[in-house]
Structure 1
Amino acid sequence: MTNTDTLLTPSAVAAYLGRSVPALAQMRYRGTGPRFIHAGSRIRYRQSDVDAWLLAGERDAT
C-alpha cells in the first residue's frame, strides 16, 4: 500500500465525490462506481481506487 491507499468509509467517499451515500450504494450495485473492499460486513474504498476512477472519467470534450 502507498500513502494514498488510505481506507475510506462510504460516507467519506460520498462527501469527496459530492454524492449521497445511497447514490454511492447504487453505484456499487450497478458496478459503475469506484472499486471497493468488503471488510467483513463493512465497505471500504482505497483512496487510490477512488482517484483512479475519477481520472478514468476525465474527458477533453463531450
Structure 2
Amino acid sequence: MKRYLTTKEVATLARLSTRTIERLRALGRGPKFFRVGGKGVRYAEIDVHAWIEKHPVEQG
C-alpha cells in the first residue's frame, strides 16, 4: 500500500524547509503531488524518494 506524506514530512526527508518545498511545488520543480480536500497537499512516498535521488544536493 502506498504511503502518502505531508509537506512537513517531505521537508524532513529532503532536509529542506517546508517553505522551500512549497516554493519548489509552485515552480513545478518539486516532487509529484496531488491536492486533497481543496487546500491539502500530499505526496506519494515513492515519488518523494525518486525526486530526492534525482536531485542530489551539491556540496561546496
Q: TM-score, normalised by structure 1?
A: 0.79
Tell me how large the CA RMSD over aligned residues is.
1.3
Per the alignment, residue 49 of structure 2 pairs with 51
Per the alignment, residue 9 of structure 2 pairs with 12
Q: TM-score, normalised by structure 2?
A: 0.81
Q: Runs of 4 or more off by more than 4 Å in structure 1? A: none
Count of aligned positions: 55
Which segments of 5 or more consecutive residues in structure 1 lack a partner in the other structure? none
Helix, strand or coil for the counterpart of 1:33? coil
Q: Which of the pair has more CA radius of gyration? A: 1
Identity %: 31
Which segments of 5 or more consecutive residues in structure 2 lack a partner in the other structure? none
